[in-house]
Amino acid sequence: MNSKINIGGMLANRAYLSPELECFVGEGVRYTFKQANQRVNQLTHYLKGKAIYPGDRVAILGKNRHQYVTSIFAIAKADAVTVPLNWRLHPAEMEYILNNSGTACIIYDEEFAPVIDQLRSQTGVREFIRIGGRGGDTGFEEALAGSPDGEPLFVSGDQDTAIIMYTSGTTGKPKGAMLTHSNLFFVTAGHCHTINWKYKDRFLSIAPLFHIGGLAPMITNIHCGTTTVFLADFDPFKVWELVEKERITHMMTVPLMTAAMLKVPGLGQKNLSSLEHIVCGGSMVPEGIFTEYRKLGIEVENVLGTTEYAGAVTFWTHDMGWDKHTSVGKPVFHGDVKIVDPETRIELPNGQIGEICIMGPQLFKGYWNNSEATDAVLAGGCYYSGDLGLKDEQGFIYVVDRLKDMIISGGENIYPAELEAVIAGHPGVAEVAVVGKKDQKWGEIPVAFVVKSAGSELTENDVMGICLDRLARFKSVKEVVFLDSLPRNGVGKLMKHMLRDRLN
């Protein structure tokens, strides 16, 4: 038996311990941990039979389905490396990732067959497996049906790369963060040892699996013996239906999801007694999300996570005290955070704003074939996140802004996130982003890009007044630009550099 930590081996262990416990639920099927592990083994044998060798990269282009997660564990048992693909990307962006990673095989949802057809001749991919539908490529179930379900021999694990997850590329080309089996073991241990994530829980998978916030919980669920219920396409009505039907205990979301879920009528009449908590992160969680769910008896927990840490860095839970809910909580089990001077990288005293530096065995291996980018952020066992924050006397972490987004006006530091929070609180504002504009007198001045709410008659003077009522004059925005929408990339991250380019 392989003594190394291998995420595929973790599933085999869970299947041994809890063979009849439900593992995957979705689209009319239910698999126990024993059945799920057997299906993983079948796909592993198929991949090996197709000359997928140790270290080969296998991409997955799909939505939140049990076949996706089956593939991740099968690829691990085949000693290969998973490359999740963001299905929101343009085919040209996918082409770059496939070629940069040297992907040998791709497993894809049938609905993305037209995209796959565009990519065939543009990449070195030699093996294609189709989930659902019909076509010339081998079908997923067909691949499993012709393969044995016995436990395969695997030799990879520990510090070997298990997943290469490409960052969103808000500037420049995406970078492939190499996450090891050990990284994923420790980050999932951090999840279930820091928040309420336990045996026989039932988790709803709605955060996209191409995002670390969606993928890491899949491994945590194996670690804990938690059932995963899949919803391929986010629909707030279906979310609540599944919470009732499947007795969901928790889920991972982003603020846009939790906000949309609140708009479903009749929530007070639904049986939501099973839902203990909702983890929410990816961007600033508005105050209203915490308070409105609290009225429903549901605890929303704040999380700070990053791809380069294989998942959650910190959690805030209600047990930590309501007075700390504007923080992102404390570092996860096995992890640590310090605040350093961005220039000298010397640790700062509590209460001072600096760069958030992350440490622990969850720390990624580096960027695939990009030592320059790796060296820029990894040093001395620390990941320099590029986020600005502070740590208070009790050890709670507060995120202030992105380092590169900070505006220096007349020698004063201005943090756009502070302005955005104030402006976003106005009912006439749907979205807002604040960036710096070059100014001959002040060096930079803050400018707000605002998307109005439907029917709003908000003016530039209104926005400036909102700031002046709540903030120091030097911080307040000096110009306002109204847009129909803010520019975002494939994972929904705001592309602030496009707004800066527009001004400068």
The reply to whether 359 falls in a domain is yes
Helix and strand numbers (H, E) in the chain are: 15, 27
Is 169 in contact with 97 (CB distance < 8 Å)? Answer: no
Looking at the fold, whether 209 and 309 belong to one and the same domain comes out as: yes
Whole-number pLDDT of residue 283: 74
The reply to whether 401 falls in a domain is no
The reply to whether 465 falls in a domain is yes
**328-354 residues labelled b (16+ CB within 10 A) or e (exposed):** bbbbbbbbebbbbebeeeeebeeeebb
Looking at the fold, whether 292 and 242 belong to one and the same domain comes out as: yes
C-alpha span between 278 and 253 (Å, rounded):
7
C-alpha span between 179 and 369 (Å, rounded):
14
What is the mean pLDDT of the segment spanning 335-359?
94
Looking at the fold, whether 456 and 381 belong to one and the same domain comes out as: no
The secondary element (H helix, E strand) that includes residue 109 is: strand 105-109
Least trusted range by pLDDT, from 31-40, 91-100, 158-167, 410-419: 410-419
Looking at the fold, whether 412 and 364 belong to one and the same domain comes out as: no
Full-model pTM: 0.86
| SS3 assignment, position 258 | helix
| SS3 assignment, position 284 | coil
Q: Which DSSP string corresponds to 391-433?
A: E-TT--EEEEEEGGG-EEETTEEE-HHHHHHHHHTSTTEEEEE
Looking at the fold, whether 236 and 288 belong to one and the same domain comes out as: yes
Looking at the fold, whether 181 and 277 belong to one and the same domain comes out as: yes
Looking at the fold, whether 359 and 433 belong to one and the same domain comes out as: no
Looking at the fold, whether 145 and 172 belong to one and the same domain comes out as: yes
C-alpha span between 141 and 123 (Å, rounded):
25
The reply to whether 417 falls in a domain is yes
C-alpha span between 387 and 323 (Å, rounded):
23
| SS3 assignment, position 62 | coil
Whole-number pLDDT of residue 282: 81
Looking at the fold, whether 134 and 266 belong to one and the same domain comes out as: yes
Q: Which residue has the tokens 């590169």?
A: 404
Last residue of a domain, one of 391, 421, 452: 391
Q: Which two tokens stand for residue 160?
A: 């070997």
Q: 127-180: per-residue pLDDT in tens? A: 999 999 998 999 999 999 989 999 999 999 999 999 999 986 545 678 999 999
The reply to whether 396 falls in a domain is no
User: How many structural domains comprise the chain?
Assistant: 2
Q: Which two tokens stand for residue 206?
A: 């709605």
Is 460 in contact with 480 (CB distance < 8 Å)? Answer: yes
Looking at the fold, whether 387 and 418 belong to one and the same domain comes out as: no
The reply to whether 399 falls in a domain is no
Q: 185-231: per-residue pLDDT in tens? A: 999 999 999 999 999 999 999 999 999 999 999 999 999 999 999 99
Whole-number pLDDT of residue 168: 64
Highest mean pLDDT among 393-397, 403-407, 423-427: 393-397
Whole-number pLDDT of residue 401: 75
Look at residue 64 and tell me whether its pLDDT is greater than 70.
yes
Say which CATH number the domain at 315 has. 3.40.50.12780
Q: Which two tokens stand for residue 426?
A: 């106005």
90 band by pLDDT with thresholds 50, 70 and 90: confident
Residue range of the domain that includes 442: 406-503
The reply to whether 1 falls in a domain is no
The reply to whether 397 falls in a domain is no
Looking at the fold, whether 320 and 438 belong to one and the same domain comes out as: no
Q: Which two tokens stand for residue 165?
A: 């997850």
Q: Which residue has the tokens 């990269």?
A: 57
**Torsion (CA) 270, 236, 169, 358 in degrees, nearest 10:** 0
Say which CATH number the domain at 497 has. 3.30.300.30
The secondary element (H helix, E strand) that includes residue 444 is: strand 443-452
Looking at the fold, whether 287 and 313 belong to one and the same domain comes out as: yes
